[in-house]
Amino acid sequence: MNSVCRFTLLTLLATQPAFAEQQQPASPFVLGYANRLSCVAGEEISFHLSSTADSVRMVIERQGGKNETVFEKDAIKCSVQPIPDRASSDGCNWPGAFAMTIPAEWKSGCYVATLTAKHDGKDIRSTLQFVVRSAKPGQDTKILLQLSTNTYNAYTNWGGHSLYSYHDRDGLQGHRVSFDRPLQSQYANWELPFVRWAENNGYVLDYAVNSDLEFHPEILKGYRLVLSVGHDEYWSAPMRDNLEKYIADGGNVAFFSGNTCCWQVRSEDNGRALTCWKQWYNVDPLFRQGDHKLLSTAWSHHLIGRPENQLTGVGFLWGGYHKSHGQFMDGAASFIVHRPDHWLLQGTELKSGDRFGGKDTIVGYECDGCQMTWKDGLPFPTHKDGTPKSFTIVGTCPARWAPGDSLWYDRFPKDRVGAAVLGTYTQGGTVVTAGSTDWAHGLRGNDPTVIRITKNVLDRLSK
């Protein structure tokens, strides 16, 4: 579809009246969302529900090293709520069915509320998720895990559209997504395996969400180490600004994640919605205003001039896919070691040329890398892509964009093989990157090398 037609369709979509309703899901159902992504003890959280049943049971669990039930309530009154035509972009605006104050004894963590409705004697279930932050950041631990909630929202097409065209209604790609609707969390696939391993091995974590880096940056002062795990794809400028200042001031960050900070988003509605025009950056209203710093497209786009490499050390432009999107489907899914004496690999007994992590495909799905040159058999960053001068490449694994993915990017080197890159740099604080979404799968599979490297990072950088 050419850009003129695309612009017309998106404009028509954006100007449709908001009072029309969408068709309800197949009966029976129970659905819901919370009015907060994160909260602290003493704050009120409200749950907004819709169900074909007239009452719903709610059970809330903290999902950490183990699932711990912290709250149960029966007979929450419920009814079927309308789904506005623009629910995916502007939210559902359902009334609150139940509200509660977060108890002081609830630990920081990821909390999942399971909603159960009865129909013909059978249970119908769905879940919603929220985070409890520490009321006293850094008091119980110096490690903060921020969940990739922006990514959850970007991939959710409930109510009409996501930020992707391939699974959207009418085949249209949305450019705005709301948190005020039932979301499809990715927590169980990526963050939860990390959390299970960490908490069951004596590591205490505090929790936050992506937008807390934007709206509650003061919490960062309490921590020595901030973690990104899994698929942390969508970042706002204030998120980056605050975390980069934290690093410059001596704070440490570990990106056990891939495709990290790939797209710039703009928070709207006090953090309850995200805007991102992605590859259609020339339709973003900011495009014609001259200042492109906040253009909602790839952070690495030359119009923004702020590649994610400057934050993470690596980026998607020089990474790509491994064992996904048709790329390297028979690949090793493991890192090859280049610098076995590096502190990241201390205690692993790995040698140059050894591989690790293939059993659990720790290099998989989406990967980040940097532009490299080779000298005496060793890879070095060129630094032409924004990778910091002090960055050291410890391990690599081939990765590549899918054919045609880069056609919209007018200064992108086409059809080249990149790599997932494991490495680190120091620039005030120390930053470690795994360069792959699937690092935590090695923890889930009890890979001894992945475990030892993860311990090396947590032990060294949280002190």
What letter would DSSP give residue 83?
-
Instruction: Please tell me whether residues 123 and 218 are part of one structural domain.
Output: no
Q: Is residue 2 part of a domain?
A: no
In terms of pTM, does the model score above 0.85?
yes
CB 277 within 8 A of CB 248: no
Instruction: Please tell me whether residues 225 and 341 are part of one structural domain.
Output: yes
Q: Is residue 275 part of a domain?
A: no
CB 58 within 8 A of CB 98: yes
Instruction: Please tell me whether residues 92 and 226 are part of one structural domain.
Output: no
Distance of CA 256 to the CA centre of its chain: 11
Spell out where 295-446 has E strands. Answer: 315-322, 335-337, 355-356, 365-369, 372-375, 378-381, 392-399, 418-427, 429-433
Question: In a 3-state reduction of DSSP, which class is residue 418?
Answer: strand
Q: Mean pLDDT per 10-residue run, the chain (463 residues)? A: 37 42 86 98 98 96 97 97 95 97 98 95 94 97 98 96 81 92 97 98 98 98 98 98 98 98 97 96 93 95 96 96 96 98 98 98 97 97 97 97 78 78 98 98 98 98 96
Domain CATH for 71: 2.60.40.1930
Instruction: Please tell me whether residues 53 and 120 are part of one structural domain.
Output: yes
| Environment class of 70 (CB within 10 Å of its CB; exposed 0-12, middle 13-18, buried 19+) | middle
The pLDDT tens digits for 202-259 are 999 999 999 999 999 999 999 999 999 999 999 999 999 999 999 999 999 999 999 9
Q: What is the pLDDT, as a whole number, of residue 290?
A: 83
DSSP result, 33-64: EES-SEE-TT-EEEEEEEESSSEEEEEEEEES
Q: Is the dihedral of CA 99, 104, 108, 111 positive or negative?
A: negative
Nearest to 12 by CA among 92, 84, 85, 82: 85
The pLDDT tens digits for 305-337 are 999 999 999 999 999 999 999 999 999 999 999
CB 201 within 8 A of CB 448: no
| Structural domain span for residue 68 | 30-132
CA distances to 218, 417, 434 from 427, rounded to whole Å, are: 21, 28, 18
Domain CATH for 369: 3.40.50.880
Instruction: Please tell me whether residues 205 and 123 are part of one structural domain.
Output: no
SS3 of the chain: helix, strand, coil, percent, to 5: 20, 35, 45
Strands 122-132 and 252-258: unpaired
Residue type, 180: D
d(CA 420, CA 348): 20
Strands 122-132 and 109-119: antiparallel
Q: What is the pLDDT, as a whole number, of residue 413?
A: 61
d(CA 116, CA 52): 11
CA distances to 23, 249, 307, 317 from 390, rounded to whole Å, are: 55, 17, 16, 20
Q: What is the pLDDT, as a whole number, of residue 414?
A: 64
DSSP result, 258-280: ESTT-EEEEEEGGGTEEE--GGG
Q: Is residue 180 part of a domain?
A: no
Cis peptide before 28 (omega within 30 of 0): yes
Q: Is residue 316 part of a domain?
A: yes
Instruction: Please tell me whether residues 315 and 192 are part of one structural domain.
Output: yes
Q: What is the pLDDT, as a whole number, of residue 304?
A: 95
CB 236 within 8 A of CB 267: yes
Question: In a 3-state reduction of DSSP, which class is residue 218?
Answer: helix
Instruction: Please tell me whether residues 120 and 190 are part of one structural domain.
Output: no
Instruction: Please tell me whether residues 113 and 222 are part of one structural domain.
Output: no
d(CA 54, CA 79): 6
d(CA 179, CA 453): 35
The CB density around residue 376, as the number of other CB atoms within 10 Å, is 5
CA distances to 6, 18, 89, 158, 222 from 184, rounded to whole Å, are: 27, 23, 15, 8, 31
For the chain, what is the domain count? 2
Q: Is residue 24 part of a domain?
A: no
The pLDDT tens digits for 445-458 are 999 999 999 999 99
Instruction: Please tell me whether residues 245 and 383 are part of one structural domain.
Output: yes
Q: Is residue 162 part of a domain?
A: no
Instruction: Please tell me whether residues 356 and 431 are part of one structural domain.
Output: yes
Q: Is residue 23 part of a domain?
A: no
Instruction: Please tell me whether residues 334 and 397 are part of one structural domain.
Output: yes
Instruction: Please tell me whether residues 242 and 339 are part of one structural domain.
Output: yes
d(CA 110, CA 218): 20
Q: Is residue 279 part of a domain?
A: no
Q: What is the pLDDT, as a whole number, of residue 402?
A: 87
Nearest to 368 by CA among 330, 401, 343: 401
Q: What is the pLDDT, as a whole number, of residue 337?
A: 98
Strands 234-236 and 263-268: parallel
The rounded radius of gyration (Å) of the Cα atoms in the chain is 22
Structure tokens at 12: 């028509």
